[in-house]
Chain A
Amino acid sequence: DAGVTQSPTHLIKTRGQHVTLRCSPISGHKSVSWYQQVLGQGPQFIFQYYEKEERGRGNFPDRFSARQFPNYSSELNVNALLLGDSALYLCASSPDRRWREQYFGPGTRLTVT
């Protein structure tokens, strides 16, 4: 079975621009979570979705938003990009809403210049 897939792999944007990152969960998984990983740090929780509804949100500004589609894929949107948004953005899928087992994709590396 295919694992979690994310697109694009790499992205370079300019300050003030908008970006959309995409994620497809493992087949049969209904939950998707998003994390930001800055170089040298552990991932930091952004959002969690189950059955197309937001179930959890981390400590990120309103410039960050997300949604989950009927096929359980998800998008993460970031507006008004800042240099500090440069990071690896990770998507994780879970088989249920307990979120104990989270399987990560390869990530999207975003560079803001």
Chain B
Amino acid sequence: QKEVEQDPGPLSVPEGAIVSLNCTYSNSAFQYFMWYRQYSRKGPELLMYTYSSGNKEDGRFTAQVDKSSKYISLFIRDSQPSDSATYLCAMKGGGADGLTFGKGTHLIIQP
């Protein structure tokens, strides 16, 4: 079992829909949780990071962490075609360990 599980998709939704992206993890040592967006053949772009369980909102994006269930989510409201990309969840513990990534979910927003 991988430390971080993420459905690779593709996930296709119509423009304007609410998108829900999810990851599960097995390592209880993970404390910090991030979401990255990666366009084809580009480097990942940091969207949000969270520390505690609960919700964090930034514009059209909401990140949700449930440590008891080892489950994190990213919601995108009013989705746009420009949101079409691969979304990577990442997490780390409190020390000098690097980020552990999911495989990424390929999201397609249909105009």
Contact = CB atoms under 8 A, between A and B. Distances in A.
A102 B99 CA distance: 9
B50 to A, nearest CB: 10
A56 B97 contact: yes
Interface residues of A, number: 28
Interface string A93-109: 00001011111111101
A42 B86 CA distance: 10
Given A100-B92, A101-B46, A104-B43, A42 B98 contact: no
Nearest to A103: B46
Interface in A43-91: 43-46, 48, 50, 55-56, 58, 88, 90
A43 B46 contact: no
Contacts of B96: 48, 50, 55-56, 97, 99
> Which range contains the number of B residues in contact with the other chain?
20 to 34
A100 B98 CA distance: 9
A48 B44 contact: no
Given A43-B99, A50-B96, A99-B98, 7 more contacts: A43-B101, A56-B96, A88-B41, A100-B49, A100-B51, A104-B46, A106-B43
